[in-house]
Amino acid sequence: MVKDFNWCYSGKKVLITGNTGFKGSWLTQWLIDLGADIYGLSNSVPTNPSMFEILDLEKNITQYWGDIEDYQFVRKTIGEIKPDFIFHFAAQALVGVSYSNPWQTIQTNVMGGASVLEAIRHHDANVTLVFITSDKAYENVEQIWGYRECDRMGGKDIYSSSKGAMDIIARSYYLSFLRHQSNIRFGIARAGNVIGGGDWAKDRVVVDCVNAWQQEKSVEIRSPKATRPWQHVLEPLSGYLRLGQCLSENKLSTEKINDFNFGPNSLVNQSVIDLIEDLSKCIETSPTPPFIITGDIPFQESQLLKLNCEKALSELGWQPTLSYEETVAFTGDWYSQFIKGDLKGLMNLTKRQINTYSELSKCRFATWI
Ligand SMILES: NC(=O)c1ccc[n+]([C@@H]2O[C@H](COP(=O)([O-])OP(=O)(O)OC[C@H]3O[C@@H](n4cnc5c(N)ncnc54)[C@H](O)[C@@H]3O)[C@@H](O)[C@H]2O)c1
């Protein structure tokens, strides 16, 4: 019998580091809906507004406030909770900030991740750790085909190199220690940029659009022709949940590192202009024209970064669910509701989108979700 997410996570203790951020908030809501008992570890709520506050998540979870770089705090927290699962998201997640604050980015992303790994090395209870890094961990050689899990790690900017370094350290922790500990199940998950309601981080195209359109102004864009493998935040989250499930059910070999890419269908590669025009059709306050082009590029970001997700399909049975049109509609609907100021309605909409996503996955291919 194929066991579903509900069977896997209901009643389980799940610790999410970085739970107050964009991805962490969506995963928290999804796992609450699945009946899990959620513990969060973050240093702050990173944006205002924030998905964490709009969904009023703190009232339904146990929150630990502290710094992921503080190894003693991380070890004590994990020891106290004894979680069945840990999803590690906490990070300085912005390329732009890594240019203005490289030292802090390295501290948070590398030493913060190492705190979690070292704490787990000393942990006696059973736990499944899903360690989230990024597509930017790969050495970007501007190739047109997708990166595979066997490709080299690298990074030409500080954010990317912090993720590449963390990935190498995570692998070496696994190979040196964790794979010899029968109580630990461990996997690494890499995904690219995601879109979806509830993001307010700086220098992200959808967030810039919403901020401008809320004031009925055209958004300023810098790289109109750049294409991106746009994916909804629920896509990689479903991959992380599936990886946690397969690890916890001992479905994956422990002889090798269980690292997986989670990306959209390879046909999804629309330009920034396409995305903005399509999104503007979903959001009533967007002006005509919805964007103006400026030449001002604040920092360099790697172009042409695609992931090959065949390993996730073959070993986890995971594949993306939403089309590009559905991804845009989910995102546009969420921000339209936000602009209308119906914050209570947003809680229901978020739950509905998670539910719709799960139903679409089930009827398209997945029986486990
Ligand atoms: N959003 C994306 O498009 C994307 C793409 C690829 C990978 N990722 C990765 O996924 C993870 C989550 O991304 P996100 O977009 O949700 O990021 P986010 O910036 O929205 O959230 C980051 C979270 O980490 C916490 N945090 C930051 N520094 C901390 C510290 N020193 N101690 C404790 N907590 C700290 C913040 O409070 C917040 O909860 C990150 O590892 C990021 O690099 C994100």
**Ligand 1 centre and the CA of 92: distance in Å?**
6
Q: In the structure, what pLDDT confidence band is assigned to residue 300 with cuts at 50, 70 and 90?
A: low
Closest atom, ligand 1, to C-alpha of 136: 6
Confidence (pLDDT) at 144: 87
Cβ of 134 below 6 Å from ligand 1: yes
- Measure 189 CA to ligand 1 centroid, in angstroms: 14
Distance 143 CA to ligand 1 centre (A): 27
Asked if the model's pLDDT at residue 1 lies above 60, the reply is no
pLDDT digits (tens, 9 = 90+) for 188-227: 999 999 999 999 998 899 999 999 999 999 999 887 888 8
Segment 84-113, tens digit of pLDDT: 999 999 999 999 999 999 999 999 999 999
Ligand 1, atom 26, lies closest to the CA of 90
- Predicted pLDDT of residue 301: 63
- 67 ligand 1 Cβ < 6 A: yes
**Mean pLDDT for the chain?**
94
The finding on whether 18 has its CB within 6 A of some atom of ligand 1 is yes
Residue 304, pLDDT > 80, answer: no
**Domains of the chain (ranges plus CATH)?**
5-195+231-268+300-323 (3.40.50.720)
Mean pLDDT of 116-133: 98
Q: What is the mean pLDDT of residues 152-169?
A: 97
pLDDT of residue 355: 97
pLDDT grade, residue 40 (50/70/90)? Answer: very high
Ligand 1 proximity of 202 Cβ (cutoff 6 Å): no
pLDDT tens column, 329-362: 999 999 999 999 988 899 999 999 999 999 999 9
Which of 26-30, 77-81, 266-270, 340-344 is least confident? Answer: 266-270
**Res 103: pLDDT:** 98
User: What pLDDT band is residue 2 in, cutting at 50, 70 and 90?
Assistant: low
The pLDDT, as a whole number, for residue 296 is 63
Q: Which atom of ligand 1 is nearest to the CA of 88?
A: 41
Q: What is the 3-state secondary structure (H, E, C) of the chain?
A: CCCCHHHHHCCCEEEEECCCCHHHHHHHHHHHHCCCEEEEEECCCCCCCCHHHHCCHHHHCEEEECCCCCHHHHHHHHHHHCCCEEEECCCCCCHHHHHHCHHHHHHHHHHHHHHHHHHHHCCCCCEEEEEECCHHHECCCCCCCCECCCCCECCCCHHHHHHHHHHHHHHHHHHHCHHHCCCEEEEEEEECCEECCCCCCCCCHHHHHHHHHHCCCCEEECCCCCECCCEECHHHHHHHHHHHHHHHCCCCCCCCCCEEEECCCCCCCCEHHHHHHHHHHHCCCCCCCCEEECCCCCCCCCCCCCECCHHHHHHHCCCCCCCHHHHHHHHHHHHHHHHHCCHHHHHHHHHHHHHHHHHHHHHHCCCCC
C-alpha 340 – ligand 1 centre gap (Å): 27
pTM, whole model, 2 decimals?
0.97
pLDDT bin (cut points 50, 70, 90) of residue 116 is very high
> Does any ligand 1 atom lie closer than 6 A to the CB of residue 16?
no
> With bands split at pLDDT 50, 70 and 90, how would you rate the model's confidence at 228?
confident
Q: What is the pLDDT of residues 240-267, one digit of tens each?
A: 999 999 999 999 999 999 999 999 988 8
